[in-house]
């Protein structure tokens, strides 16, 4: 279903700006998009992508960097222009870059067990802009399955902030069966920076997809 929504966006606007997410849950979505591309159903030649976040301290070719993840799962398998692929870095104003390319048409999101979106962890306020953040211990532990040792998990990352995410024209949040509890909490009508994903209640076009497979 998620890949169908993204494919529809691409076919409706062939120069769409897609906000992309990493993690286990979107792997199937990207696999389906690659298959649709190979079948001639979608074309990425005019598409621009911006990624939600990236670890600090990992080179793009590091097997656990998010750039490597995106290359392996989507980008190197479709006909996207390399100059139209963007990741947040500490050396530029990512929010301004997104504005200059026209804003995000569709933003794909995952959700953490603590309710984070991107790497916006539970806090006392909603932070608006792209910035470097310290990862919560629960996030480090959750991501340690991708590393040889929990000690090797980066402790900081750069992430889109809430205003950048919320400025996307359409948002699709996907979650696996292990996130049922947090999705149920998201359905409650409570908005708090202690539960970052709750801000999505204020978005005018947000779809939440829970896969129970």
CATH number of 2-210: 3.40.50.1360
Q: Which pLDDT score is estimated for 146?
A: 86
Catalytic residue from among 32, 114, 128, 129: 114
Residue-by-residue DSSP string for the chain: -HHHHHHHHHHH-TT-EEEE--SSTTHHHHHHHHHHHHTTS---TT-EEEESEEETT--TTSTTSHHHHHHHHTGGGS---GGGEE---TTS-HHHHHHHTT--SEEEE---TT--BTTB-S-SS---S-EEEEPPHHHHHHHGGGSSSGGGS-SEEEE--HHHHHTSSEEEEEE-GGGHHHHHHHTSS--BTTBGGGGGGG-SSEEEEE---
d(CA 73, CA 139): 22
**Catalytic annotation on 86?**
no
Give yes or no for residue 213 having a pLDDT over 80: no
pLDDT digits (tens, 9 = 90+) for 77-132: 999 999 999 999 988 999 999 999 999 999 999 999 999 999 999 999 999 999 99
User: Which residues, in sequence order, are bridge partners of residue 120?
Assistant: 117
Catalytic residue from among 54, 95, 105, 121: 121
Catalytic residue from among 51, 53, 54, 73: 53
Give yes or no for residue 212 having a pLDDT over 80: no
pLDDT digits (tens, 9 = 90+) for 167-209: 999 999 999 999 999 999 999 989 999 999 999 999 999 999 9
What lies within 8 Å, CB to CB, of 97 at 6+ separation is 50, 86
Q: Which pLDDT score is estimated for 142?
A: 85
The answer to whether 103 and 169 have CB atoms below 8 angstroms apart is yes
Structure tokens at 178: 């292990």
Which range, of 9-23, 55-69, 139-153, averages the lowest pLDDT? Answer: 139-153
Q: Which pLDDT score is estimated for 170?
A: 98
**Catalytic annotation on 14?**
no
**Catalytic annotation on 148?**
no
**Catalytic annotation on 116?**
yes
Q: What is the pTM of this model?
A: 0.94
136 — pLDDT class (breaks 50, 70, 90): confident
How crowded is the C-beta side of 110, counted as CA atoms within 13 Å? 23
The answer to whether 210 and 175 have CB atoms below 8 angstroms apart is yes
The answer to whether 109 and 23 have CB atoms below 8 angstroms apart is no
> Which of 25, 12, 17 is CA-nearest to residue 2?
25
pLDDT digits (tens, 9 = 90+) for 12-39: 999 999 999 998 899 999 999 999 999 9
């Amino acid at each position: 279903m998620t890949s169908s929504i993204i494919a529809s966006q691409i076919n409706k606007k062939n120069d769409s700006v897609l906000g992309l997410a990493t993690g286990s849950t979107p792997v199937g979505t990207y696999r389906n998009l690659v298959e649709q591309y190979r079948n001639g159903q979608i074309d990425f030649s005019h598409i621009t992508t911006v990624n939600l976040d990236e670890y600090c301290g990992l080179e793009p070719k590091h097997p656990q960097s998010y750039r490597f993840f995106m290359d392996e799962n989507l980008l190197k398998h479709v006909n996207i222009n390399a100059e139209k692929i963007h990741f947040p870095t500490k050396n530029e104003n990512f929010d301004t870059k997104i504005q200059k390319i026209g804003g995000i048409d569709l933003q794909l999101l995952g959700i953490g067990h603590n309710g984070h979106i991107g790497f916006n962890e539970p806090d006392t306020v909603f932070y608006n802009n792209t910035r470097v953040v310290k990862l919560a211990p629960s996030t480090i532990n959750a991501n340690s399955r991708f590393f040889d040792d929990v000690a090797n998990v980066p402790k900081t990352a750069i992430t889109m902030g809430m205003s950048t995410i919320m400025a996307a024209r359409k948002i699709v949040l996907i979650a696996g069966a292990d996130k049922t509890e947090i999705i149920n909490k998201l359905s409650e009508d409570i908005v708090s920076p202690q539960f970052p994903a709750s801000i999505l209640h204020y978005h005018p076009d947000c779809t939440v997809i829970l896969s129970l497979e």
